[in-house]
Amino acid sequence: MAAELFSTSLPHGEDEEEEEDTKKNFVQLSEPKESAKRNAIGIDDDDDDDDERLSWQGAHPTLRERNALMFNNEHMADIHFIVGPPGETQTVPAHKYVLAVGSSVFGAMFYGDLAEGQSEIHIPDVEPAAFLTLLKYMYSDEVELDADMVLATLYAAKKYIVPAVAKACVGFLETSLEAKNACVLLSQSRLFEEAELTQRCWEVIDAQAELALRSEGFCEIDQPTLEIVLQRETLNIREAAVFQAALSWAAAECRRQGLAVTPWNQRTVLGKALYLLRVPSMSLQEFADGPAQSEVLTLAETHNIFLWYTATNKPQLDFPVGKRVGLAPQRCHRFQASAYRSNQWRYRGRCDSIQFAVDRRIFMAGLGLYGSSGGKAEYSVRIELKRQGTLLAQNLTKFLSDGSSSTFPVWFEHPVQVEQDTFYTVSAVLDGNELSYFGQEGMTEVQCGKVTFQFQCSSDSTNGTGVQGGQIPELIFYC
């Protein structure tokens, strides 16, 4: 069999002239296909030297280079793919041997026991650009991905069992993962059975649940993914916001099904997902302002939930009554001691700032700050998070200190995704009682659970805070 596949003997009974023509045909391009194909493999039409025109192989000394020249090239192509849905197809030339050694699916298709001798193969379920990305890897070991085609390429890589391309796609998706696309990627990762990507998606959705569920991407997920999200115990979000997100998804689903967006149709398309909403865990005010007026609940359901809030003998409900556990915030404390009285720290409305980096992705939720060393006091504070000078988050708020050396949490409006191995700057400007506790014996590196923090001084700090001492004693985060 191997001898038949790779035989280079010429047919018997041919005269010497035909034998010479056969040899030339191996290295020459068919003339009717014009110069575009010749130029594609480095042959110059203006070169009159026949030896030069036939030496493109010699100009590319490695197998990889020569194979790469054959990518999407008619020269010696022995199979053609008609790729894409009807009306949007693209014809892609290819070479069976190259594809067979790169994919077990193509190997079986071309050389297996059930191989068929087709000259054209239709692939309506794969995007042409994604198919070309897959083939380019098979010819050259190069993977070029972009955000628009990465999911389609992952589908193609899974379909034709090309693990290296699938792995590259998953890596690309992980680096581009954020709250606005986390729900869509969760749906796709479940479809493709990519457990690691699924876990990464959950990390983002749990920590930034309000942003994730408010995104357009949440409205695009399928019903099973919706139900899994609504069942999630660790979502860091108010239940009233979950209810509103479910209504937004239902409105989008009505439009997908060609239905009018009415409360009854929203209830219908939600189906059993409606009863995954923990409506009784809302405050009475949230329930009265939201679900009770949505008309998605029946009058009986609304009546029973009101009774559940107020009556001694509470009715049985079809909705879960317990609150979601959410995520427990973690705190990185960078000082080993705090001080007051002698050399007391004064805030004076100046900026205290420090830079930090982490060795894995976290979600920055807020800062723990020192308060007054002279008794109970209220502070106004502006906190900021920057990356390379770009403002990522800020919040202007107040907190009350009790005169102790404890730290007092100040939160950003939403947790902010912080990537590994990049320095970020956190700042705080306080206005209030000038005399404050301050930290001493600061550490340049702190291990906090699974996360290692590194600290360095910030040029934004104008009030004396640095690595060794000062303010911003704690970083509050989710991981």
CA distance 11 to 18: 10
The tokens of 404 are what?
């102790």
Q: Contact 351/373 with Cβ under 8 angstroms?
A: no
The average pLDDT across 432-448 equals 89
Tally of domains in the chain: 3
The average pLDDT across 145-157 equals 94
Query: Is 223 found in the same domain as 100?
Result: no
Query: Is 448 found in the same domain as 337?
Result: yes
CA distance 444 to 186: 36
State the pLDDT confidence band at 43, using cuts at 50, 70 and 90.
Answer: very low
The 10s digit of each residue's pLDDT in 251-268 is: 999 999 999 999 999 999
CATH code assigned at 397? 2.60.120.820
CA distance 378 to 152: 55
Structural domain contains residue 23: no
Query: Is 292 found in the same domain as 407?
Result: no
Residue type present at position 233: E
Higher pLDDT, 200 or 14: 200
Query: Is 223 found in the same domain as 95?
Result: no
CATH code assigned at 258? 1.25.40
Query: Is 334 found in the same domain as 470?
Result: yes
CATH code assigned at 150? 3.30.710.10
Per-residue pLDDT at 50: 52
**Model pTM score:** 0.80
* Three-state secondary structure readout of the chain: CHHHHHCCCCCCCCCHHHHHHHHHHHHCCCHHHHHHHHHHCCCCCCCCCHHHHCCHHHHCCCHHHHHHHCCCCCCCCCEEEEECCCCCCEEEEECHHHHHHHCHHHHHHHHCCCCCCCCEEEECCCCHHHHHHHHHHHHHCCCCCCCCCHHHHHHHHHHCCCHHHHHHHHHHHHHCCCHHHHHHHHHHHHHCCCHHHHHHHHHHHHHCHHHHHHCHHHHHCCHHHHHHHHHCCCCCCCHHHHHHHHHHHHHHHHHHCCCCCCHHHHHHHHHHHHHHCCHHHCCHHHHHHCHHHHCCCCHHHHHHHHHHHHCCCCCCCCCCCCCCCCCCCEEEECEEEEECCCCCEECCCCEEEEEEEECCCEEEEEEEEECECCCCEEEEEEEEEEECCEEEEEEEEEEEECCCCCEEEEEEEEEEEECCCCCEEEEEEEECCCEECEEEEECCEEEECCEEEEEEECCCCCCCCCCCCECCCEEEEEC
Structural domain contains residue 285: yes
State the pLDDT confidence band at 51, using cuts at 50, 70 and 90.
Answer: low
Q: What is the mean pLDDT of the chain?
A: 88
Q: Which domain holds residue 288?
A: 203-310
Query: Is 452 found in the same domain as 379?
Result: yes
Residue type present at position 85: P
Query: Is 457 found in the same domain as 341?
Result: yes
Per-residue pLDDT at 101: 94
pLDDT at 66 over 70: yes
Query: Is 450 found in the same domain as 373?
Result: yes
CA distance 59 to 69: 11
CB proximity list for 421: less than 8 A, separation 6 or greater: 357, 358, 359
Query: Is 232 found in the same domain as 168?
Result: no
Structural domain contains residue 241: yes
Per-residue pLDDT at 373: 82
Residue 333's nearest CA partner among 429, 472, 479 is 472
Query: Is 400 found in the same domain as 291?
Result: no
Query: Is 136 found in the same domain as 216?
Result: no
CB proximity list for 169: less than 8 A, separation 6 or greater: 145, 150, 151, 153, 154, 157
The 10s digit of each residue's pLDDT in 219-252 is: 999 999 999 999 999 999 999 999 999 999 999 9
pLDDT at 80 over 90: yes
Query: Is 467 found in the same domain as 351?
Result: yes
The 10s digit of each residue's pLDDT in 288-310 is: 999 999 999 999 999 999 999 99
Write the CA distances from 82 to 37, 66, 132, 157, 399, integer angstroms.
19, 25, 12, 17, 65
239-256 vs 223-231: helix axis angle to the nearest 10? 170
